[in-house]
Amino acid sequence: MVKKLGMQKSKIEIAKKMLKNKMDIDTIIELTGLAREEIEKLLN
């Protein structure tokens, strides 16, 4: 369980960097496996 939470945090940090670099949300979803809702939360 702890490892899974760590992986999720890593994916979120990577998604934040991708957003900062103006990457397309669909590409971020494909590369990280995160849900669109999770990525959109990072935009706010």
* Residue position matching structure tokens 């992986």: 7
Q: What is the pLDDT of residues 1-44, one digit of tens each?
A: 678 888 999 999 999 999 999 999 999 999 999 999 999 999 98
The count of structural domains within the chain is 1
Domain ranges, residue 21: 2-43
pTM for this model (two decimals): 0.85
Q: How far apart, in whole angstroms, are the C-alpha atoms of residue 34 and residue 18?
A: 12
Encoding tokens for residue 36? 């669109």
The CB density around residue 14, as the number of other CB atoms within 10 Å, is 14
* Cα within 13 Å of Cα(41), Cβ side: 7
Number of helical H runs and strand E runs in the chain: 3, 0
